[in-house]
Chains A and B, each alone.
Chain A
Amino acid sequence: MNVLLAILLLLLMVYVCGMHGIKLFLSIIYNFLITIIAFYIMAFGVNAIAVSLLACFIISRIVLFHVNGENIKTKSSMKSILIVLLLLVFFILIITNLSRIAGFGYESFEEINMFSYDVGIDFTNLSTALIIIGLIGATIDSSIAISSALYEVKENNKHLNDKELFQSGMTIGKDILATTMNTLLFAFLGEFMTLLIYFKTGNYSFLEIINSKTFAEEFIKIIFSAIGCILVIPITAYITSKDLVKESKK
């Protein structure tokens, strides 16, 4: 079934944007391979957080430089994404450690009971890695939206200084904020529906739901995706406006 869907996706991509569609489809395959390889390396017991950061670095390079080309826009985005990742990594680590969302909640026991739990890998680090990889997509999306829009603004208004550029970056940021939040919200709701139906058929109360590990895991993951894509807006606006002004002075 997935093969059929993948073929459909490829055809649609080629129909909508021609050769560029093939390039995009290839980048999805690269991303898939990198994610799987990263997961595989983690399974060998290498520190999951380090692996996930490295994977995010490679993924950002592919998405930015391979698909959109290496230029001042993508370079500024790259810098901003790295800053956001470094800022968030510690925060995520603290939260996953405190909220004990590592591993599986009671709801998944049936799914995993065919496995032995003696695996000798710290699942707290894995949760952190999962959140980092989960937020990279949304973060890249907002970052590139801001930097390309700012580039256009600068092209059309050469006289703008970095402060004015930063301001218009923030205005653009406000526009994309609402819609990206929507994308994340509904992706979360779609995934969460199984769990919610389970909770409701089992007569769980609202308080029981928010304290359960399975809910907390998904919820914290999506909150961090949202935080990543919000944080990257001012950072990208700042870095891109500085870079653009520097570039024009050369």
Chain B
Amino acid sequence: MKYYKNKKIILIFLIIISIVAITFTLHNDFLYPKEIMKIEKIEEKDSYISRNTLGFPEKYSIKKIEGTIMNGKNKGVTKSLEYEESYSSVVTDKYRVGDKVFLESNSIDGLKRDTYIVFLVSILVILLYLVGKYRGLLTTFNVFLNTMIFYCSLDLYLKGMNLLLICILESLLFTSISLWIASGSNKKTLSAICSTLTSSLLLLLMTIITIKITNYQGMNFNEMSFLTVPFEDVFIAELFIGSLGAIMDVSITCSSAIGELIEKDKNITKLALKKSGKEIGKDIMGTMINVLFFTYLCSGLPLFILAIRNGYGLFQYIFNNFSLELTRFLVGSIGIVATIPISLLITIKIFKGGKKS
């Protein structure tokens, strides 16, 4: 009964924190060095229709936007400016009364989005707690910790350290923290950590060899063109980090299943273990690959539409512009599939040791 009460208290606590955080983002204009304007009036002054070479009509409207400055030395001053918005909002936004926008030299420089970000994070944390209870809280903590490590470690890269080296070091941290949090300190975790690291390093080696053989043939790095640093190097690091989570998932699933089997039947043979391990791997592989597939592939949608509406052919586009997303997906999937035998091998070694059975 007491435990039940505690649960409710934590839930209420989380909700209160969320509400406080959301309210704070509604009133945190003073934190920003850029001027923020709250839109109070929008009037349409003019509109025209423009057509591209294929004849698709696009409605543009020129709007007069009035609002009050919320921060800085001009706080309280009313300002009015003109803004041109398009029906498609490919590069413009559709603003409404009540929105807060950033100003840069008297023109609008994007919406203030922090409230929505904080709102969604709150929903996620509360849902994680409702479904996962204590484990959900730990997961939240883990995600937060890993993101922070990731965010801060990139500073080292900017100071001149090799990016790949940083990522390999990071992966040690990520793997031990996440797996330890996910399943505690025991043999299962140990073997999952070992197999994750082995698999991801092997995967990295494979990626580099493939790249050396094909020399990025058929790849289009347009998507990363805004980087001022060599983006081929960044891409390898991204592939490595991107597949790490999936590899961890497979490793921990395999090692807990094997651990479970050994616990139930101490005399089970290595051969039998391998067989059931493969069976389990088979079950999780398909859906795991799907997670990566849809997470990566959907990112290409806006560019795809833009290209098709500009007269690009379907196949021409797929081969030219989907290449990065496809590579991310393929490398991740290879990681998932290859981890199954590797983690079986390592887990059985760790649990059964050198014992002949």
Bound: A16/B110 CA distance, A: 49
Residue from A145, A173, A200, A211 within 8 A of B132 (CB atoms): A173
Say yes or no: is A40 at the interface (Cβ < 8 Å to chain B).
Answer: yes
Are B143 and A185 in contact (CB-based, < 8 A)?
A: yes
Chain A interface, number of residues (Cβ within 8 angstroms): 117
Residue from A28, A220, A234 within 8 A of B131 (CB atoms): A234
Within 8 A of A (CB), among B214-253: 214, 216-219, 222-229, 231, 234, 237-246, 248-249, 252-253
Say yes or no: is B45 at the interface (Cβ < 8 Å to chain A).
Answer: no
Bound: A223/B143 CA distance, A: 12
Bound: A114/B41 CA distance, A: 35
A133-B132 contact given A2-B326, A2-B330, A43-B309, CB 8 Å threshold:
no
What 0/1 readout, one digit per residue, does chain A (1-36) give for beta carbons within 8 Å of chain B?
A: 111111011001101110010001001100110011
Bound: A43/B88 CA distance, A: 12
Contacting residues, chain A, for B224 (C-beta < 8 A): 194
Are A187 and B296 in contact (CB-based, < 8 A)?
A: yes
Contacting residues, chain B, for A221 (C-beta < 8 A): 298-299
A226-B124 contact given A16-B337, A95-B116, CB 8 Å threshold:
yes
Say yes or no: is B139 at the interface (Cβ < 8 Å to chain A).
Answer: yes
What 0/1 readout, one digit per residue, does chain B (326-344) give for beta carbons within 8 Å of chain A?
A: 1110111110011011000
Are B303 and A111 in contact (CB-based, < 8 A)?
A: yes
Interface of chain B: mostly helix, strand, loop or mixed: helix
Say yes or no: is B128 at the interface (Cβ < 8 Å to chain A).
Answer: yes
Say yes or no: is B262 at the interface (Cβ < 8 Å to chain A).
Answer: no
A216-B295 contact given A1-B214, A193-B237, CB 8 Å threshold:
no
Are B87 and A120 in contact (CB-based, < 8 A)?
A: yes
Interface of chain A: mostly helix, strand, loop or mixed: helix
Contacting residues, chain A, for B194 (C-beta < 8 A): none
Within 8 A of B (CB), among A130-162: 130-131, 133-138, 140-141, 144-145, 148
Bound: A173/B133 CA distance, A: 11
Say yes or no: is A165 at the interface (Cβ < 8 Å to chain B).
Answer: no
Bound: A80/B302 CA distance, A: 29
Are A190 and B330 in contact (CB-based, < 8 A)?
A: no
Are B245 and A198 in contact (CB-based, < 8 A)?
A: no
Contacting residues, chain A, for B228 (C-beta < 8 A): 198, 201
CB-defined A-B contacts under 8 Å, sample of 18: A1-B214, A9-B333, A13-B285, A100-B94, A105-B110, A119-B88, A119-B306, A121-B305, A131-B298, A174-B132, A178-B142, A183-B288, A183-B292, A186-B241, A193-B237, A207-B31, A216-B113, A224-B120
> Which A positions have Cβ atoms within 8 angstroms of B?
1-6, 8-9, 12-13, 15-17, 20, 24, 27-28, 31-32, 35-36, 39-40, 42-43, 59, 63, 67-68, 95, 98-112, 115-124, 126-127, 129-131, 133-138, 140-141, 144-145, 148, 170, 173-175, 177-191, 193-194, 196-198, 200-201, 207, 210-213, 216, 218-227, 230-231, 233-234
> Which B positions have Cβ atoms within 8 angstroms of A?
31-32, 50-53, 56-58, 86-95, 102, 110-114, 116-117, 120-121, 123-124, 127-128, 131-133, 135-136, 138-139, 142-143, 146-147, 150-151, 154-155, 157-158, 174, 178, 181-182, 206, 210-211, 213-214, 216-219, 222-229, 231, 234, 237-246, 248-249, 252-253, 256, 278, 281-310, 314, 318, 323, 326-328, 330-334, 337-338, 340-341
